[in-house]
Amino acid sequence: MTAEQWWRKAVGGDLRGIARCITLIEAEAPDMAACLSALPAGGGARITGITGPPGAGKSTLVDALIGRMTALGRRVAVLCVDPSSPFSQGAILGDRVRMARWYRHPGVYIRSLATRGSLGGLHPNILEIAQFLSACPFDDILVETVGVGQSEVEITGLADVTVVVLVPESGDEIQTLKAGLMEIADIFAVNKCDRPDADRFVAGLHAMMTVGRRAAGPPTPVVRTVASRDEGVGELLECMDRLAGDVAHRDRRLDLLADRAWHLIVKKRMKDVRKADLRERISALEADGTFNLYSFIENY
């Protein structure tokens, strides 16, 4: 079948077609570029980023959110971005065990993607894949990032709503996180709130936000959860839905689209830049003693 035929099957809801199209997008098949260019303007599924430091319980929280969404009759696509194998560059799928019960559910599609060395905690083609899924018959797209710390701010260029998951033990770590990861949150989900010091941590989080970047605007919502027991997950989903429909939050859409466009333009312009070619050109200039790094860059 051609890429266009797979695409038609995918947007009609065929899970095999969806899987095949994602594989073609990952392979950067030329025919898929034309299909992506034909995506309808506006609309589509809401993209929610679930991010936070390792061990915060992101996979368990996503599993609980899927349960709440499917109970409401919503169709959900989940992109789980995992660390790459250093040998095959494929995804290490350990965390997917927590979502195993959904793999045969007709209203849920789960795909694991490898970071493939990307420093932003995301897959190199995550923008294209998420936009493709938004054209398929899903109501929600959940993107769970790899959990690599401050460099995960890249999620802001992808998600309509970003949920940062923390745990009470994050205490002192908040000081190092706040310079990056903390400022991207549309919602804070403090998970594992059945643990000691949860109240103190939540109070400290509220205090920190009063002097944060959003001090002039409404405070960032903080939702307490115990994902393993499905506690607070309904409140989190309500908060996500409310924020997605908030007029002030929708004003952020232009910034979001600009971020997406910037990432894709940079990627397109860098596509033909290869280190081997750079090395060959530099070697020739070095040989005749005319190499200057900054002049080389200006004239490349």
Q: Which residue has the higher pLDDT, 180 or 107?
A: 107
For residue 189, what pLDDT is reported?
Answer: 95
Give the rounded distance of the alpha carbon of 274 from its chain centre.
27
Q: For residue range 46-81, what is the model confidence (pLDDT) as tens digits? A: 999 998 888 889 999 999 999 999 999 999 999 988
Average pLDDT score over the chain: 81
Is 90's pLDDT higher than 50? no
In sequence order, what are the residues at sequence separation of 6 or more whose Cβ sits closer than 8 angstroms to the Cβ of residue 97?
A: none
Question: Hey, where are the domains in the chain?
Answer: 1-38, 40-251
Is 150's pLDDT higher than 50? no
pLDDT tier at 147 (50, 70, 90 boundaries)? low
d(CA 215, CA 268): 37
Can you tell me the mean pLDDT for 102-123? Answer: 74
Which amino acid, one-letter code, is at 294?
A: Y
In sequence order, what are the residues at sequence separation of 6 or more whose Cβ sits closer than 8 angstroms to the Cβ of residue 104?
A: none
Q: For residue range 174-185, what is the model confidence (pLDDT) as tens digits? A: 555 555 566 778
Q: For residue range 247-273, what is the model confidence (pLDDT) as tens digits? A: 566 666 677 778 778 878 887 888 788
Is 237's pLDDT higher than 70? yes
Q: Which residue has the higher pLDDT, 81 or 89?
A: 81
In sequence order, what are the residues at sequence separation of 6 or more whose Cβ sits closer than 8 angstroms to the Cβ of residue 57?
A: 165, 167, 191, 192, 227, 228
Three-class SS of the chain: CCHHHHHHHHHCCCHHHHHHHHHHHHCCCHHHHHHHHCCCCCCCCEEEEEECCCCCCHHHHHHHHHHHHHHCCCCEEEEEEECECCCCCCECCHHHHHHHHHCCCCCEEEEEEECCCCCCCCCCCHHHHHHHHHCCCCCEEEEECCCCCHHHHHHHHCCCEEEEEECHHHHHHHHHHCCCHHHHCCEEEECCCCCCCHHHHHHHHHHHHCCCCCCCCCCCCEEECEHHHCECHHHHHHHHHHHHCCHHHHCCHHHHHHHHHHHHHHHHHHCCCCHHHHHHHHHHHHHCCCCCHHHHHHHC
| Torsion (CA) 257, 258, 261, 262 in degrees, nearest 10 | -150
Domain 40-251 has what CATH class?
alpha beta
